[in-house]
Amino acid sequence: MGDEQHKQDKLQKMRSYPKSPVTEQGKRYQVRVQRRTEALEMRKRGETYMAIAEALGISARQARVDVQIALTPEQGQERERAAELRAMEEQRLTMAVKAIEPKVKEGDLGAVGRWVQVSERRARLMGLDLPPQPATKGGNDGRVTIQVRYVDDVEP
């Protein structure tokens, strides 16, 4: 019981320590998170990456990266916003398909090309274009062997 009391006393003492001020690194992180949140919100409103870049004082490439990072599942607070953006993009793509569908049915090659572009965008949005994951084998020593077989190497 003495050890338990000692742990409780130590924990209580630690809680009474004054909070450390936010570090410079922590401030920069907060600024990045805020910028990414703003970039995602602007993208949801239909802004281009160039417009986002100009509004936030960053490059268009950085605007794209910020939106992509905000869309990753690891950004817990952004999950709902990212889901909203994906749903909005899906609606926009559906609207585009409906608009060009009559021309595609008529055989208009330009419309068919647009249809393919929209389909490719939808596949990327839904994560359908991810490369297949290679099979792995793990040993007892922690090392992993990856075996890649090409179609030409597989015997029928």
What would the mean pLDDT of 59-70 be, rounded to a whole number? 89
Confidence band of 135 (pLDDT split at 50, 70, 90): low
Average pLDDT, the chain: 76
What pLDDT, on the 0 to 100 scale, is given for residue 156? 45
127 shares a domain with 84: yes
134 φ/ψ angles, rounded to the nearest 5 degrees: -70, 150
What pLDDT, on the 0 to 100 scale, is given for residue 39? 92
Is residue 141 one of the residues assigned to a domain? no
Confidence band of 153 (pLDDT split at 50, 70, 90): very low
Angle at 138 between CA 137 and CA 143, to 5 degrees: 120
Is residue 91 one of the residues assigned to a domain? yes
What pLDDT, on the 0 to 100 scale, is given for residue 106? 93
Is residue 122 one of the residues assigned to a domain? yes
Is residue 4 one of the residues assigned to a domain? no
**Tens digits of residue pLDDT in 66-101:** 888 887 755 555 566 677 778 888 888 889 999 999
55 shares a domain with 29: yes
Helix (H) or strand (E) holding 22: none
Q: Alpha-carbon torsion 75, 78, 83, 87, what sign?
A: negative
Residue range(s) defining the domain that contains residue 61:
24-71
All residues at 6 or more sequence positions from 8 whose CB lies less than 8 Å from its CB, including other chains: none
Overall number of domains in the chain: 2
